Amino acid sequence: MNSANKGFSLIELLIASSVGLIAIGVVGSVFLSGYQAANKRSLELLLEQDVNDAFRLIKEDVLRAGYVSGGGNTLRLLLPNGVSKADNVVYVNTTEDCLAYTYQNEDGLQIYNSAFLKEINVDGKKINVLKYNSASAAISTDEICEISGASSLLYEKQIAVSKFKIEHKEISSASATSQLIKITLAAHLKNDDSVSTAKSIQIKTRNWQ
């Protein structure tokens, strides 16, 4: 028989099959790695977007702190005795990782807001979440950082807060005194600590009198 008419030998077929399987494995591994990297990046972007949205809400609120229509005295939270006013336009409680403030909205209604860290139990696991509360009923400084009905600023089913730190100081010039608030927020996915983000913002309060 002419050798030119012979087919592949069993050994050649096995070698070809092995090379093909290796090639498929390499391509599959590259594809899987790329998919996992893209998926992780998507989760990171979603987490960063949530944190940015939380910062945006807090910043917009803090810039309204103390505002009163008609140019009267700056609004401040009441202290526990219900008589004296808090020393700063934005009340900061570093022990409880909380900031709170009050202002009049566009309808002239006085609003009492707070943002604070709270430990909760989700699916049998304790995590820290960032809580936010807005109310029209008067709340003093001893109550505003312990609101049971507050909502979460970040999606607590998936996101845990590892750090919520508030620093503040008074800043003075020849014509005015104000308050500088620095907020640091770090968060990660509840089921994947490797997907995380940490950001800080500084806010100079307005409406100081």
- How much is the pLDDT for 42? 83
Q: Which residues make Cβ contacts (< 8 Å) with residue 99, sequence separation at least 6?
A: 58, 62, 90, 91, 92, 93, 114, 115, 116, 166, 168, 181, 183
pLDDT above 60 (res 23): yes
Least confident range from 68-72, 92-96, 125-129, 203-207: namely 68-72
pLDDT digits (tens, 9 = 90+) for 168-189: 888 877 666 788 999 999 999 9
Q: Strand pairing of 125-135 and 110-122?
A: antiparallel
Output the average pLDDT for the chain. 84
**Cβ contacts of residue 96 below 8 Å, gap of 6+?**
116, 117, 145, 146
Write the pLDDT tens digit of every residue in 83-136.
Answer: 788 888 899 998 888 999 999 988 889 999 999 998 888 777 788 889 999 999
The answer, yes or no, to whether residue 1 has pLDDT greater than 60, is no
pTM for the model stands at 0.77
- Which tens digit of pLDDT belongs to each residue from 35-46? 566 677 788 888
Tell me whether residue 149 is exposed, middle or buried, using C-beta atoms within 10 angstroms of its C-beta: 0 to 12, 13 to 18, 19 or more: exposed
More confident residue, 207 or 46: 46
Q: Are 104 and 67 in contact (CB under 8 A)?
A: yes
Q: Which tokens hold the place of 172?
A: 């003075």
